[in-house]
């Protein structure tokens, strides 16, 4: 009877009772002094190298090897304090809940696709975005996983997704992401239509269920990935990647991607890209180096070369220097290519 | 003297010194696979069943039975990572601070009104919003507590509110919420005015102080509520509700609400609604069932029937299935009613 | 080999592994009942006295006296649950990361300028914004540190800043903040230009690097500050301030500021302001009092007088009462000055 009383009473403190929990608050704050030449904002800047995160996550042990997982992750700009790019949704990083057990991990919500999450291990900057890193522009061949979301949204996540990661069998793992066809507020995409009748109207549903599959294999110093993905406007991408460690301190890696946009383009439907790189650890220091190219067919190549150095002050904090050059071709042939140079010096702190 | 030095020095770490504290980070992440027929987005979706929260709260013991309380609560969409409905304020859930002692609990800020918070205990889905639950549409009779806030704002909270909850005396508790008349950025409400001279202009102040009162009584297996509320455009609502537990595992419940919009409408000023329901617990499972109707006078009825099943994996985590049907009448008589069917399967995790 | 496997596998829980950390969640929730006469919203309100914060911060010990620091701080309105003023960036308070050691503290990101942070110690409300406090309007002489950010942004921070605080040498400390010239999305500022050709176009870069310097000195009961600052449109401000404690319970304080806007104005380019105040502690109570004036040259004076009382329920929580009067002159001489009266009664809770 006492219990009933308490159950109805508004304590004023916390309307909904809930069992005790343990939420981990975590994140990344990376800021540096950078300069990129030949861009609109060609000036010394305070900017970031990594994506900056503030997240909340937890694991609940349900017994019998079963666990409940949740993770919510904000992304932000450290130099101005805004949400990432000042336009991203609250939990741009991810918002997922699910179960983990002997069957693997199954989650619902929003997050990186299987391909986008797997390919980072084969990128010499560990999947950091450009300028020095390769993932955003080269490694995914300019492909976007989520063309049917609001303008400014992230390019490598699925909203309304179901995410599955298998257990690791003898070094082998399969990851599958499938999204619904739900409309997510995109602007019109003309595609093979016309301005008056775009192929995908504003706030269109996907014309096929977006999916992403990656299979990874690890055997001692060797690791490899095969992946395929289709987005909401039926662009397709496949990718193969591998890494090898001839020494414990040295990791060599490479990846190749091919994108097919024939569902929305009449010409130049295929784009391919490759990235080679290495990481070499010396004491508290780590050298990063990479080179890559992207070639939309019939169009001149984009080429990028980068070197970086990270010096660890602790397992959570390092200082870094990056130098990179990106050649972006002019389509007008009588002009030279643009050589975009990039310099960065900063601090990266995980918390 | 050492102290003065430290007081002035900018440590670079934390500009304002503050005594040590203990903040609880808590929340809910609920996501499932749903389908609702006969709606604009009639498709399989990843969606939510509960309101999703990420909150921060704390209680400070001030001695002599006095406590200071605060609570800040974000609401968000798990499938896209945005704020709730992509338009809600940062702390849509609540932002309140106050004191608790022998006198009860007194708080200031934004939060659920006394009626809206009390009536949830008499709803078979415990106040979860539609589709399967009854609170949003039926149990509050389509009434909104906050019509003078910005478009898209929550319907069952007061901003600029003072909140009081009495102690529980012999099973009896009184809860009172009063809000100021402050302008909160509403769009114009024509009401009994004209488009040129709306009854409430854009960003109008309330014409009377909004208030909400609920009285609850609990005696062993029996509980009851009486409540009355008036919003900023002087719509009035009263409600009576009761629940009974013939068995420890079975809770029967019902509520009735009547809304009077005569201050802003010429016709069909009164709406009444009732909801009946039950919860039945079997081991780790819980069966939910409900039926309700809403009738704006002179207009055909909205009817809703729902059944649900929750299976607890732990005190914090459960899986659920819902099936619901809502009949919304067409005002044009030669068309059939719309039978909106709803199916949901998902996971609900408190952290 | 086991390690390689784990490194590649997507655990489904947390894509990026990170060392264990300790994040402190902290903040302020201040809400009260206020009334300010002769303003657009002249009505009893639920409002705030202090800036309300929800923050995340941490310190990592790197050994050898070196520490890594980060701090992210949300600002919000407690009465409506929105971001501060409903327009501020996510981390309006600050977003900074850096290192602290024998050399002092060096950070990058967004935060209060050296002047704005130092001058608070010489304001009788400890830097609380108006209405009763003096910092926002009088103590900084109407000067804004950040005129080249988006409309509605904070007035006393630098985005894209580098922040340095020296160690304290014999009571003496120097603080320096420098910002880049990066464009931050400001609306056009006509200045000495024309509407067609504003002196600073929309989204203009700073015409000179903004900087802020403060030097503080503390010696027993005496403290003093000298500061100078220049913003992105080359307005300049200098300030001198001092405080003295004749008794342990009594702090007397005063500050003077002068602003030069000759870079963007043809006339009335200089504004000066001064504030005098005291804090007197009696048991759990604290009396606050202040008086100040601001005089843009050629224009009548703004005058403000305030008294306040704070009663501590604990080191983290106090109740307060404020009464203030601000005389704002009408430029049209045949009208009386506006006497704006302000009353506030509320609770201030640090967590």
Rounded to the nearest 5 degrees, what angle is found at the Cα of A314, between the Cα atoms of A308 and A320? 20
In the structure encoding, which two tokens stand for residue A347, read together?
């601090």
Distance in Å, alpha carbon of C169 to nearest chain B alpha carbon: 10
Please count the other Cβ atoms lying within 10 Å of the Cβ belonging to residue B315. 12
Q: What is the pLDDT of residue A128?
A: 87
The whole-angstrom separation of Cα B11 and Cα C166 is 9
Q: Which residue has the higher pLDDT, C287 or A131?
A: C287
Residues of chain B with pLDDT under 70: 1-9, 11-21, 40-41, 298, 330-337
Contact C21 A350 (CB under 8 A): yes
Chains in contact with C, where contact requires at least 3 CB pairs less than 8 Å apart: A, B
The whole-angstrom separation of Cα B126 and Cα B128 is 6
Contact B160 C79 (CB under 8 A): yes
In the structure encoding, which two tokens stand for residue B242, read together?
């009761």
The whole-angstrom separation of Cα B80 and Cα A221 is 38
Test the C interface: residue of B2, B6, B7, B8 with most C CBs within 10 Å: B8
Facing C26 at nearest CB: one of B18, B68, B109: B18
* Phi/psi at B100 (5° precision): -130, 135
DSSP letter string, A191-239: TTS-SSS-SB-TTPPPSS--EEEEEEEEETTEEEEEEEEE-TT--EEEE
Rounded to two decimals, the ipTM of the complex is 0.91
Rg, chain B, Cα only:
22
Please count the other Cβ atoms lying within 10 Å of the Cβ belonging to residue C220. 11
Q: How far is CA A182 from CA B43, C94, C295, in A?
A: 7, 37, 59
The whole-angstrom separation of Cα A326 and Cα A336 is 13
Q: Contact, A265 vs A259, CB < 8 A?
A: no
DSSP letter string, C225-285: EEEEEE-TT--EEEEEEEEEEEETTEEEEEEEEEEE-TTT-SS--EEEEEEEEEEEEETTE
Looking at the DSSP assignment, which residues form a beta bridge with residue C25? C56
Looking up tokens 């990874």, which residue turns up?
A216
The whole-angstrom separation of Cα B61 and Cα B68 is 7
Q: Which of A236, A235, A255 is nearest to A244 (CA)?
A: A255
Please tell me what DSSP assigns to residue B138.
Answer: I
Facing A78 at nearest CB: one of C4, C25, C95: C95
Strands B52-63 and C45-47: unpaired
Cα A24 to the chain's mean position, in Å?
22
Q: How far is CA A261 from CA A78, A230, A240, in A?
A: 35, 10, 18
Q: Contact, A306 vs A331, CB < 8 A?
A: no
Q: Contact, C256 vs C241, CB < 8 A?
A: yes
Q: Contact, A135 vs A125, CB < 8 A?
A: yes
Contact B90 C81 (CB under 8 A): yes
Q: What is the pLDDT of residue B43?
A: 83
Residues of chain C with pLDDT under 50: 1-7, 13-20, 332, 334
Q: What is the pLDDT of residue B3?
A: 37
Please tell me what DSSP assigns to residue B113.
Answer: -
The whole-angstrom separation of Cα B58 and Cα B68 is 8
Torsion sign across C-alpha atoms C151, B84, B91, A147 = negative
Contact C43 B180 (CB under 8 A): yes
CA-nearest residue to A107 within chain C is C12
Q: Contact, C268 vs C299, CB < 8 A?
A: yes
Q: Contact, A45 vs C206, CB < 8 A?
A: no
Beta strands in chain A (DSSP E): 24-36, 45-47, 52-63, 66-76, 94-101, 104-112, 157-165, 172-179, 211-219, 222-230, 236-247, 250-260, 270-282, 285-296, 302-312, 317-328, 338-350
The whole-angstrom separation of Cα B50 and Cα B76 is 11
Cα A226 to the chain's mean position, in Å?
17
CB pairs under 8 A between A and C: 175
The reply to whether omega before A131 is within 30° of 0 (cis) is: yes
The whole-angstrom separation of Cα A123 and Cα A133 is 8
For A184-231, what is each residue's pLDDT tens digit? 889 999 999 999 999 999 999 999 999 999 999 999 999 999 999 999
In the structure encoding, which two tokens stand for residue A23, read together?
């939420």
Contact B97 C315 (CB under 8 A): no
Q: What is the pLDDT of residue A21?
A: 61
Q: Which of C260, C229, C271, C224 is nearest to C244 (CA)?
A: C224
For C218-234, what is each residue's pLDDT tens digit? 999 999 999 999 999 99
The whole-angstrom separation of Cα B119 and Cα B111 is 15
Q: What is the pTM of this model?
A: 0.93
CA-nearest residue to B96 within chain C is C78
Facing C25 at nearest CB: one of B9, B14, B25: B25
Q: Contact, A227 vs A242, CB < 8 A?
A: no
Q: Which of C6, C13, C50 is nearest to C30 (CA)?
A: C50
Facing A62 at nearest CB: one of B74, B171, B317: B317
* Residues from chain C contacting residue B67 (CB–CB below 8 Å): none
3-state secondary structure of A168: coil
Chains in contact with A, where contact requires at least 3 CB pairs less than 8 Å apart: B, C
Q: Contact, C110 vs C157, CB < 8 A?
A: yes
Distance in Å, alpha carbon of B218 to nearest chain C alpha carbon: 32
Q: What is the pLDDT of residue B14?
A: 41
3-state secondary structure of B107: strand
Looking at the DSSP assignment, which residues form a beta bridge with residue B97? B70, B108
Torsion sign across C-alpha atoms C194, C195, C197, C200 = positive
Left if phi > 0, otherwise alpha if psi is -120 to 50, otherwise beta: which for C145? alpha
Q: Is the pLDDT confidence value at A272 over 70?
A: yes
Contact A350 C72 (CB under 8 A): no
The whole-angstrom separation of Cα A81 and Cα A137 is 25
Contact B46 A21 (CB under 8 A): no
For A273-329, what is each residue's pLDDT tens digit? 999 999 999 999 999 999 999 988 767 788 999 999 999 999 999 999 999 999 877
Q: What is the pLDDT of residue B142?
A: 78
Strands C45-47 and C52-63: unpaired
Rounded to the nearest 5 degrees, what angle is found at the Cα of C206, between the Cα atoms of C203 and C209? 150
**In what helix (H) or strand (E) does residue B116 lie, and over which residues does it extend?**
helix B114-119
The whole-angstrom separation of Cα C215 and Cα C208 is 22
The whole-angstrom separation of Cα C257 and Cα C140 is 7
Cβ partners under 8 Å of residue C16, min gap 6: none
For B213-272, what is each residue's pLDDT tens digit? 999 999 999 999 999 999 999 999 999 999 999 999 999 999 999 999 999 999 889 999
Looking up tokens 């919009």, which residue turns up?
B261
């Amino acid at each position: 009877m006492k219990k009933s009383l308490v159950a109805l009473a508004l304590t004023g403190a916390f309307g909904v009772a809930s069992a005790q929990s343990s939420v981990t608050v975590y994140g990344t704050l990376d800021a540096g002094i950078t300069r990129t030449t030949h861009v609109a904002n060609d000036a010394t800047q305070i900017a970031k190298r990594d994506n900056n995160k503030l997240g909340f996550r937890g694991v609940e042990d349900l017994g019998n090897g079963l666990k409940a997982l949740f993770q919510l992750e904000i992304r932000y700009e450290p130099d101005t304090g805004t949400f990432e790019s000042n336009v991203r949704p609250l939990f741009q990083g991810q918002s997922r809940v699910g179960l983990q057990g002997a069957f693997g991990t199954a989650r619902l919500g929003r997050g990186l696709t299987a391909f986008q999450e797997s390919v980072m291990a084969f990128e010499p900057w560990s999947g950091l975005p450009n300028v020095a890193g390769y993932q955003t522009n080269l490694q995914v061949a300019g492909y976007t996983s989520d063309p049917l979301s609001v303008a400014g949204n992230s390019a490598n996540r699925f909203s309304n997704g179901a995410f599955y990661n298998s257990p690791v069998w003898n070094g082998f793992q399969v990851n599958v992401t499938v999204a619904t066809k739900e409309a997510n507020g995109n602007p019109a995409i003309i595609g093979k239509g016309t301005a008056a009748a775009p192929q995908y109207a504003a706030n269109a549903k996907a014309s096929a269920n977006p999916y992403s599959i990656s299979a990874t294999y690890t055997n001692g110093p060797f690791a490899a990935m095969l992946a395929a993905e289709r987005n909401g406007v039926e662009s397709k991408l496949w990718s193969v990647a591998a890494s090898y460690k001839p020494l414990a301190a040295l990791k060599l890696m490479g990846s190749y991607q091919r994108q097919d946009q024939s569902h929305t383009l009449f010409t130049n439907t295929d784009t391919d890209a490759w990235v080679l790189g290495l990481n070499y650890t010396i004491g508290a220091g780590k050298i990063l180096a990479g080179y890559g190219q992207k070639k939309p067919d019939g169009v001149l190549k984009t080429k990028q070369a980068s070197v970086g150095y990270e010096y660890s002050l602790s397992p959570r904090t390092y200082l870094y220097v990056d130098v990179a050059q990106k050649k972006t071709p002019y389509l007008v042939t009588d002009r030279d290519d643009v050589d975009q140079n990039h310099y960065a010096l900063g601090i990266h702190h995980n918390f």
